[in-house]
Amino acid sequence: MRTEEFAGRVAIVTGAAGGIGQAVVLALVDLGAAVAAVDLDGEALRALERKANVGRQAVRGFTADVREPADAVVAEVERRLGPVDFLVNGAGVLRPGPALEMGPDDWDAVLSVNAGGVFHFSTAAARRMVERGRGAVVTVSSNAAGVPRTRMSAYCASKAAATAFTKALGLELAVHGIRCNVVAPGSTDTAMLRSLWTDDSGPANSLAGSLPEYRVGIPLRKFATPEDIADAVVFLLSDRAAHITLQDLYVDGGAALGR
């Protein structure tokens, strides 16, 4: 049942055209929020607007590169939608491969989006939140931030950096009444996960784990859906989590064994 829990609230979601990003946008809209959907893919943003704006104009797309400073984007969001209450850092990329075969361009590409994007948008939004003495930030990280993965060194490093930055920022912003938390998904049914499967055994191996890669399976024996992740994000943004900050919530079906 739809509620108006976030009526009158404005949210920015980066990586809004991705699987998790779209689920977060739609969940926020369903709770009454106005959402600035940020992504580099302008065509996908327009499709998201058409999907979300059924009976109301709740989502506006903003084409932007999270690798760049975000002050101008946040200012434009506030000009068009109003003061920003929530930020969800959802933009992310993955370039898998052995660490010793990785070039500096791949390293920079992953770190600049997954960590740099969190820095740019978090600081730009938080400066305005501080002026108002309220706000909440959620960074979508990964359980790979805390559990080493073969062929994913840059991704692990970038997500660890994003996680640590979000918590450190939250410590500084707590005095201003601003909460900063992290949601760490495991294997989620998205295009990013499917890109790691090289043959028909990919899904089964992801569920059961792989001894040669030192990777356990998923105790719940199922993949997360993007909506599972969105539910966790929405909870941490909500007043139900009013006394929760600096937390890293793993939503991975137990794959990290409760780390």
The tokens for 179 are: 């909460």
Q: In 174-215, which residue ranges form alpha helices assigned H by DSSP? A: 191-194, 202-208
pLDDT-flagged residues of the chain (< 50): 1
The bridge status of strand 215-216 relative to strand 209-210 is: antiparallel
Considering its fold, how many domains does the chain have in total? Answer: 1
pLDDT at 259 (0 to 100): 80
Domain presence at residue 259: no
Q: Flag whether 256 is in a domain.
A: no
CA–CA distance, 16 with 75 (Å, rounded to integer): 18
Contact of 214 with 150, CB cutoff 8 Å: yes
Residues linked to residue 10 through DSSP beta bridges, in sequence order: 34
**Residue 155 domain-assigned (yes or no):** yes
Q: The domain that contains 201 carries what CATH number?
A: 3.40.50.720
Alpha-helix residue ranges (DSSP H) falling in 31-115: 42-52, 71-81, 104-114
On whether residue 162 sits in a domain, the answer given is yes
Please give the pLDDT value at position 182: 98
Provide the annotated active-site residues: 155
pLDDT at 205: 75
d(CA 26, CA 8): 16
Task: Return the sign of the alpha-carbon dihedral for residues 57, 9, 132, 72.
Answer: negative
The model's pTM is: 0.95
Residue 258 belongs to some domain of the structure:
no
Q: Containing domain of residue 225, as a range?
A: 10-251
CA count, 13 A, side-chain hemisphere, 102: 21
In a domain, 199, yes or no: yes
61: in domain: yes
Residue 2: inside a domain, yes or no?
Answer: no
Tell me, what's the pLDDT at 198?
66
- Record the tokens describing residue 184, joined without a space: 């760490």
pLDDT of 1 reads 43
Q: What are phi and psi of 98, to 5 degrees?
A: -60, 140
